[in-house]
A and B are shown apart, each in its own frame.
Chain A
Amino acid sequence: MPPKIKHLLGIQDLSVEQIRLILETAESFREISTRPIKKVPTLRGKTIINLFFEASTRTRTSFEIAAKRLSADAINISASTSSVVKGETLHDTAQNLQAMAPDVIVIRHSCSGTPHQLARICSAAVVNAGDGAHEHPTQALLDGFTILDHKETLQGLKVAIVGDIAHSRVARSDCLLLGKMGAHVTVCGPPTLIPPHFDKTLRLVGQTNASVAQQSLRVTYDMNEALEDADVVMMLRIQLERQSEAFFPSIREYFRLYGLSAERMKAAKPDAIIMHPGPINRGVEIASDVADGPYSVILDQVTSGVAVRMAVLFLLTGGKDESD
């Protein structure tokens, strides 16, 4: 049994064994969502606070459903309806929440490192539901879980991640997770949307963990090269709200060079699957017929999300830490 996970702040801190344990636990939780009565009493009496400083439908709903199916009490706070608008700092908000003794705080914030700060203030377990352009660990876990539904193993799998890498916390968490699990990742996008030395810095981050050191991560600006023989094609959302900053000349040009069309998919393996963390922009990074096509597992990802988040909440709250 790997050491107990205290907080889930990023894939960076997880060992291969811990990732396996989360994915195996999620596998057992999957069945609960197919029952006529979708509820088990496991986390009865536990309080889970969803603290969302950024817009979200999927992640917040997914965490809330996961908590409720385990019988925990879930409370949602979004920045627009909280005391943040009255000028309260994050530190004070955190201390006030802590005073009400929650067991888990799930946080999304536009600033990288916010969950880490929260973990230092609060004694509750902290789950990072996306911090700035840093990490989004549960998304990476559910991506791994979804891939394993369709492929035997992550080891040696060829994965292409295409789109806005620079602003994507999903890309970072996915690269770390897939790298740790032995997949070969190729990231692809326009040079303006891939940070310089992306592969080297991410490898450096991984160096604290020996298993990541040998991870294979490649960068290319040519989509055909990225898709060649790929088992998994992961498309990322082009953040249209940033289009004013002129990262690329036009949406039409972007789609022509980096959009996923049925024609483009022919370069990938015949049984390749298509993923997207959502929300999708049809006709920008992915053609409608591809998004709704037979190889698309985009909605399976959403279903997996509930099982994975149930596993995370369960593993964070149950059992005592041996070192306590």
Chain B
Amino acid sequence: MTATEMERALNRLAHEIVERHRGTKNLALIGIRRRGVPLAERLAKTILDFEKVRIPVGYLDINLYRDDLSTVSMQPVIQSTEIHFPIANISIVLVDDVLYTGRTVRAAMDALLDYGRPKTIQLCVLIDRGHRELPIEANYIGKFVQTTDNEIIEVKLTEIDQQEGVMLVEKLE
């Protein structure tokens, strides 16, 4: 996926989110660290461009809620969660780069519910690569990519990786 294709996909996703919510009232985006954060910011900027409304954006670190903390080899680096608005009774759209097993999203929902009781939680991802291990589906999908278990989806974002694009690479054994 090239930079232009990514931009087109994000534009479409921004429009879909606003269309499905019939506007931007009581709507907030929450990016899952790390790459969900710049994606959420970009979606919010696109929405600002065509709706002239700045919707709130929060960042969520899900590491404290992972289900594999005692089995992972290296301890994850904990980053801060920044949600500077009350989430009770509003519609939250979680934003992440890749949807794979669904375990990150499960952790994100648990983390979010510790902050309050949103009206709805939806999920927006740039890439859905299949292989779910939990009954979780995305509401907004940039692109569905058929993958096998020994492939990796690499999403590169200018804000983090100084380059832009999505690549499907073979896992090194």
Interface residues of A (CB under 8 A from B): 1, 4, 24-25, 27-29, 31-32, 35-37, 39-42, 70, 314-315, 317-320, 322
Contacts and interface: CB of A to CB of B under 8 A. Distances in A.
A157 B74 CA distance: 33
Contact of A40 (B64, B71, B73, B76): B64
Given A35-B115, A41-B110, A318-B75, A28 B80 contact: yes
Interface residues of B, number: 22
Nearest to B107: A41
17 contacts: A25-B78, A29-B78, A31-B82, A36-B115, A37-B115, A40-B64, A41-B110, A42-B64, A42-B65, A70-B64, A314-B78, A315-B75, A318-B70, A318-B72, A319-B74, A319-B75, A320-B72
A320 B76 CA distance: 11
Nearest to B82: A31
A37 B80 CA distance: 16
A241 B61 CA distance: 48
A35 B60 CA distance: 14
B75 A4 contact: yes
Given A28-B81, A322-B73, 11 more contacts: A4-B75, A25-B77, A28-B79, A29-B78, A31-B80, A36-B116, A37-B114, A39-B114, A41-B64, A42-B65, A319-B76
B53 interface: no
Interface string B34-73: 0000000000000000000000000001001100011111
Contacts of B80: 27-28, 31
Q: Which of B65, B78, B81, B116 has the most CB of A within 10 A?
A: B78
A317 B111 CA distance: 20
A166 B42 CA distance: 58
A318 B65 contact: no
Nearest to B79: A28
B61 A28 contact: yes
A324 B120 CA distance: 44
Q: Which of B61, B80, B110, B111 has the most CB of A within 10 A?
A: B80
Contacts of A319: 69, 72-76
Contact of A35 (B70, B75, B76, B114): B114
A315 to B, nearest CB: 7
Contacts of A317: 70
A25 B73 CA distance: 18
Contacts of A39: 114
Contacts of A322: 73-74
Contacts of B61: 28
A275 B114 CA distance: 34
Nearest to A71: B64
Contacts of B81: 28, 31
A31 B74 CA distance: 23
Given A27-B80, A28-B78, A40 B72 contact: no
Nearest to A103: B70
A37 B113 CA distance: 10
B59 to A, nearest CB: 11
Nearest to A25: B78
A29 B79 CA distance: 9
A26 to B, nearest CB: 9
B65 A41 contact: yes
A41 B63 CA distance: 10
B47 to A, nearest CB: 27
A184 B114 CA distance: 43
A49 B167 CA distance: 48
A1 B74 contact: yes
B110 to A, nearest CB: 7
Contacts of A314: 75, 78
Given A31-B81, A35-B115, A40 B75 contact: no
Contacts of A29: 78
A41 B114 CA distance: 10
Contacts of A24: 77
Contacts of B82: 31
Nearest to A319: B75
Contacts of A35: 114-115
A24 B79 CA distance: 9
B80 to A, nearest CB: 5
B64 to A, nearest CB: 4
Nearest to B70: A318
